[in-house]
Amino acid sequence: MATLLVLGSCQQAQKENNQETQNQKTMDTSIPKISDFPLGEENTGYAQYFSGKSWLAPLTTNKDLNVPLANVTFEPGCRNNWHSHTGGQLLIAVGGVGYYQERGKAAVRMVPGTVIEVGPNVEHWHGAAPDSWFAHLATNGNPSTNQNTWLEPVSDETYAAATKK
């Protein structure tokens, strides 16, 4: 009787392990398509200024136009550090749900169609909601002279307070 119980327990444990392995194999880890713009490549060049992963897809190539435009996609919970631009910035939400916050002000919830005009030298951050992927188009004002100043990461406490529903 004891042998049968041990054998039955081992078989049950093996069955549970097999199910867990199957669940891991079928878990969808792909990045969802949340806008009509390309995802681009993982944003490793600026990863040090982001909490979480983001992807960057440059959309313009003609330097004579002087209008650099990129699609930036954030995984859920990802946001960039506090930062500013000497020439300002324009953000246009194109997919998912995100947030924008200027230092000292309430956060703004961003959904597709939201346009944010960031003034020159305004300290701010932007990124995805905790439970949603997010994508926005971004361009900088006065790109030939615009300088980014990267500041400290957005703390988990600040992010939680800003994104509280």
Q: What are phi and psi of 29, to 5 degrees?
A: -110, 10
Output the six-digit token pair for 126: 């932007």
Find the range with the poorest average confidence among 5-9, 11-15, 135-139.
5-9
Q: What is the pLDDT of residues 120-158, one digit of tens each?
A: 999 999 999 999 999 999 999 998 899 999 999 999 999
Rounded distance between C-alpha atoms, residue 164 and residue 141, angstroms: 31
pLDDT of residue 27: 52
Relative to beta strand 108-110, strand 89-96 is unpaired
Alpha helices in the chain (DSSP H): 2-26, 156-163
Q: Which CATH number fits domain 41-163: 3.40.50.720, 3.20.20.80, 3.40.50.2300, 2.60.120.10?
A: 2.60.120.10
Name 84's bridge partners: 149
**Mean pLDDT score across all residues of the chain:** 88
Rounded distance between C-alpha atoms, residue 90 and residue 100, angstroms: 11
Which of the pair, 6 or 138, is modelled with greater confidence? 138
Domain boundaries of the chain, sorted by first residue? 41-163
Give the Cα-Cα-Cα angle 20, 21, 23 (nearest 5 degrees): 65
Q: What is the pLDDT of residues 14-49, one digit of tens each?
A: 554 445 444 444 455 689 999 999 999 999 999 999
Q: What is the pLDDT of residues 79-93, one digit of tens each?
A: 999 999 999 999 999
